[in-house]
Amino acid sequence: MKILDSRSDSRAVAELAERRMEPDPDVERRAREIIGRVRSEGDEALTTLTRQLDCRYIDSLGIRVPVRDLERAYGSVRKEFLTALRSAAGNIRRYHRRQVQKSWELRGRGMRLEQRFRPLRRVGIYIPGGKAAYPSTVLMNAIPAVIAGVGEIAMTTPCSSEGRIAPEVLVAAAECGIHEVYRIGGAQAIAALAYGTESIRKVDKITGPGNAYVAAAKRLVFGAVGIDTIAGPTEIVVVADSSADPRLVAADLLAQAEHDELASPICIVTSASLAASIEKAVRDVLASAPRRAIARKAFEGQGIIIVVRRAQDAINIVNLLAPEHCELMVRKARIHAAKVTNAGSIFVGPWSTEALGDYSAGPNHTLPTAGAARFSSPLGVADFMKFTNVIEVSRAGFQRLAAGVETLARVEGLHGHAASIAVRRND
């Protein structure tokens, strides 16, 4: 890992905050081509692309996963998994139920004003797959949608070359009440959800992470449908002082580095000696890590330890970077946590490891990346709802507002607006 001093290397630290997810032109061009094919050819394009990119047996298996396969999947998972999954789901439901927003109204001065909340009618959730299984991502996307009251949830996930979807993913879908599952992935899945095909009806919004082609496709279909976010490589910033155990810091940095060669494991420490201890601990933990090839590339490419003088300096850098995950392994961690204004999730104290948030603590693990925590939030129930303004004005209320509205409309040159007021005033 590279070690920087926050004062002598201030420019390098500032450059970290300028990271952005610039789309790869080749990836975007290919995603655009795939979307065009799906829009014009429908299921035929889905089948052809899936046969070429994922599963050579898609013609015989079909795009949609039969409901009986979801039921049979229970027989292929361990009891411990089902117990853990249901425990996690319970925690996620408990947390997200607190997020439900209710309609409200305001009366007085000749008006009745209302903000009316309603769930989205139909959403699509994308679950990465193929080489790995992510049942936790099913829970994090589906449970807020169910709590919001979404009527229909369609799930897409890539399958293996033999057409297999991990039974754990199918069980997670069934536990959330999802029975509409499709064995397709990539940009073609996003296109099908956004525009519809013969087999898949279009949705109102798409959520869920994916590879570069999925991210590019979500960016391209936005406007035709809503999307949650454009997810970039995962990132963590661990703030540590002399009270922190370097082994715990290294373990949590590894937990993010093993995701992806482009992951950003960053640590901010209050002394050079602690930086050296953590660097050694990272080397030690890497030596036996099952995914060390991936993690090592992440540490070599994006791994950084920043040395600061005070804990407050570390918090200032956290707010500058606006990371996806922020861990605080410092004295008075709760006090410092209150000063963190830009982060997807904040983990307070040495026991609050980020892995708990990924699976079972309750808050959502779909978080803003690449500095987007400056202006956006984790996935939640609100992402699956919309609100409508309702305005009801009495004659007295109209008379109170009319003159001012007519004046403003004429200033803006919108004479039709002014006339719609004047005709009522003169009536």
Annotated catalytic residue within 28, 258, 279, 324: 324
Annotated catalytic residue within 28, 168, 235, 325: 325
Annotated catalytic residue 179: no
Q: Give, in order, the Cα–Cα distances in Å from 319 to each of 71, 225, 232, 258, 278.
A: 46, 31, 19, 25, 22
Written in H, E and C, the secondary structure of the chain is: CEEEECCCCHHHHHHHCCCCCCCCHHHHHHHHHHHHHHHHHCHHHHHHHHHHHCCCCHHHHCCECCHHHHHHHHHHCCHHHHHHHHHHHHHHHHHHHCCCCCCEEEEECCEEEEEEEEECCEEEEECCCCCCCCHHHHHHHHHHHHHHCCCEEEEECCCCCCCCCCHHHHHHHHHCCCCEEECCCHHHHHHHHHHCCCCCCCCCEEECCCCHHHHHHHHHHECCEEECCCCCCCEEEEEECCCCCHHHHHHHHHHHHCCCCCCEEEEEECCHHHHHHHHHHHHHHHHCCCCHHHHHHHHHHHCEEEECCCHHHHHHHHHHHCCCEEEEECCCHHHHHCCCCCCCEEEECCCCCHHHHHHCCCCCCCCCCCCHHHCCCCCCHHHHEEEEEEEEECHHHHHHHHHHHHHHHHHCCCHHHHHHHHHHHCC
**What mean pLDDT do residues 149-166 have?**
94
Provide, rounded to the nearest whole percent, the portion of the chain with pLDDT above 90: 88
pLDDT above 80 for 19? no
pLDDT for res 21: 67
Question: CATH classification of 25-99+118-227 is 3.40.50.1980, yes or no?
Answer: yes
Q: Catalogue the long-range contacts made by 292-296 (C-beta closer than 8 Å, 24 or more residues apart).
A: 294/257, 294/258, 294/259, 294/260, 294/261, 295/254, 295/257, 295/258
Question: The tokens 């007021």 sit on which residue?
Answer: 421
Grade residue 112 by pLDDT with cuts at 50, 70 and 90: very high
Question: CATH classification of 2-18+233-362 is 3.90.1150.10, yes or no?
Answer: no
pLDDT for res 15: 85
pLDDT for res 17: 82
pLDDT for res 394: 96
The bridge status of strand 205-207 relative to strand 122-126 is parallel
pLDDT for res 101: 94
- When the pLDDT of each residue in the chain is averaged and rounded to a whole number, the result is 95
Q: Which tens digits make up the pLDDT trace of 160-191?
A: 988 899 999 999 999 999 999 999 999 999 99
pLDDT above 80 for 131? no
Annotated catalytic residue 71: no
pLDDT for res 132: 80
Query: Model pTM?
Result: 0.93
Grade residue 18 by pLDDT with cuts at 50, 70 and 90: confident
User: Residue 123 and residue 43: Cα distance in Å, rounded?
Assistant: 19
Half-sphere exposure of 297 (CA within 13 A, CB side): 9
Q: Domain map of the chain by residue range? A: 2-18+233-362, 25-99+118-227, 394-425
pLDDT above 90 for 388? yes
Q: Which tens digits make up the pLDDT trace of 340-363?
A: 999 999 999 999 999 999 999 999
pLDDT above 90 for 102? yes
pLDDT for res 275: 96
pLDDT for res 77: 97
